[in-house]
Structure 1
Amino acid sequence: MPEAPHVTTVPYYAQWESPELVAEIVSGRLPAQRDPNWPKSGAATPDDYAYWSWRLCGMACLRMALDHWRGTAPPPVSLAQECQEAGAYVRHEDGRLDGLIYAPFAVHARDRWGLGAESRPVLSPREVRAHLASGGLAMLSVHPSLRTLDSLRTSDPAPPHRGGHLVLAVAADDVHLYVHNPSGFPGESQRAFAVPWPELDRYYAGRGVLLADRAL
């Protein structure tokens, strides 16, 4: 399923600094440390960038919202470090990272950026569509294999679980939900990727964060 030509004014950011290299990085053909644009991320070293880059889907969504409503898109690792200080990420000594944790993230997005942000442990597709119709955006927890939705239809009809990756819902109509996918493949599933409503349930965990230009 190619990217849809749906009209949206929301900018797109991948969770890696080189959107055109996402397929190579995700497949393992190119180590994230070799992303030539890693210095733009705010990371101190290529290894620091590689660590965070696999965990930056939420920060990519935040960058899209900030660019859309505030005209700024701070480096993603810098945003992640701020979120860590706010309790939205918990980094353990063994390298494990808990997060993005929605409730402290929503508080941080409100306090730091003046966004409307609401953690929604239960968020129905109907509510997502209504929020988009009101001019808002929504960070949704989906299985990362959403980026290969078309191929999964014929090979693996259901991912092993729902959730685990964040995408930004930017628009909707009667047939599709359109998402900016931070780990989508270039020319296929990055910008305004059209997800048929009946297909969404296989990937969507039913939770997320509602975002708006002002308090909700």
Structure 2
Amino acid sequence: MTVATTHNVPYFSQWESAALVPEFVSGTASAAADPLWESSGAETAEEYAFWAPRMCGMACLRMALGYFGQPVPASVPLVREALAAGAYVRDGDQVQGLIYAPFAAWVASQWGLFAEARPELSVEEVDAEISRGRLVLMSVHKTIRTLDPRPAQRGGHLVLAVGSGPDHITVHNPSGFPEKSQQFHQIPRVDLARFFAGRGVVLGHTQ
């Protein structure tokens, strides 16, 4: 049986105003109107609005850096570094990423952390990594925030697994809803399979 373990990981949304995520997700508010957009390090509100919906991986990385005692950069400068490292590929308004192998190589070289791309990753392996004191970026469908009974697919969005227990995985969700599914959201194991794509990235201290 899995022993309950939860790491005290700081939380960052992929939008600067975490309280406004429902409005950003629904389209009733534009990310360009985020009153805290300048905190992202973007040069313009438009630059921030382009990247905010695409920064789940950078939000997860910022959480992990905070947990492992590293300085936490602002989100948009971090995206620029990730682009330079090949972890994202931008072509006009299209972005490919997060690309796991170059992302893991960048994290290892830049911060000296253990970082391993896992193109095949089981829930049991997530449990094992959590028990070792590591964190796991998990590829899930974005509607995991509401435990949608019929998600369109598996994968496409990244959450950070920060804990596990006999009947759940605990995640920080960069696009979760406030007071519901942002911090320490317990995803029942019986629900996880319809969202989780079976891949991700493991982060931890070097041994």
The TM tier, using the shorter chain, reads over 0.9
1:105 aligns with 2:97: no
User: Over residues 76-115 of structure 1, what are the superposed CA-to-partner deviations in whole Å (9 max), with x where a residue is unaligned?
Assistant: 11111101000011110x3101101000000000000111
Paired with 1:171 and 1:65, the residues of 2 have a C-alpha distance of 13
**Residue in 2 aligned with 1:19?**
18
Q: For this pair of structures, how many residues does the alignment match? A: 203
Q: 170-179 or 62-71: which moved more?
A: 62-71
Structure 1 unmatched ranges of 5 or more: 1-5
- The one-letter code matched in structure 2 to 1:171 is G
SS at match of 2:65: helix
1:193 aligns with 2:185: yes
- Runs of 4 or more, structure 1, over 3 Å off, are none
Whether contact under 8 Å (2:6, 2:170) holds in the other structure is: no
Paired with 2:29 and 2:199, the residues of 1 have a C-alpha distance of 32
Paired with 1:91 and 1:134, the residues of 2 have a C-alpha distance of 35
1:115 aligns with 2:103: no
SS at match of 2:180: coil
Paired with 2:127 and 2:7, the residues of 1 have a C-alpha distance of 15
**Residue in 2 aligned with 1:183?**
175
TM-superposed CA distance for 1:175, in Å, is 1.0
Cα RMSD (Å): 1.1
TM-superposed CA distance for 1:188, in Å, is 0.5
SS at match of 1:73: coil
Structure 2 unmatched ranges of 5 or more: none
User: Over residues 23-80 of structure 1, what are the superposed CA-to-partner deviations in whole Å (9 max), with x where a residue is unaligned?
Assistant: 1111111100010110010111000000000110000000000011124211011111
1:205 aligns with 2:204: no
**Residue in 2 aligned with 1:167?**
159
Percent same amino acid at aligned positions? 51
1:62 aligns with 2:64: no
Partner of residue 130 from structure 1, selected from 128, 150, 156: 128
Paired with 1:119 and 1:59, the residues of 2 have a C-alpha distance of 15
TM-superposed CA distance for 1:8, in Å, is 3.7
- The one-letter code matched in structure 1 to 2:173 is N
TM-superposed CA distance for 1:194, in Å, is 0.6
- The one-letter code matched in structure 1 to 2:18 is P
TM-superposed CA distance for 1:7, in Å, is 5.5
Q: TM-score, normalised by structure 1?
A: 0.92
Q: TM-score, normalised by structure 2?
A: 0.96
Whether contact under 8 Å (1:8, 1:192) holds in the other structure is: no
SS at match of 2:79: helix
SS at match of 1:204: coil
Whether contact under 8 Å (1:143, 1:159) holds in the other structure is: yes
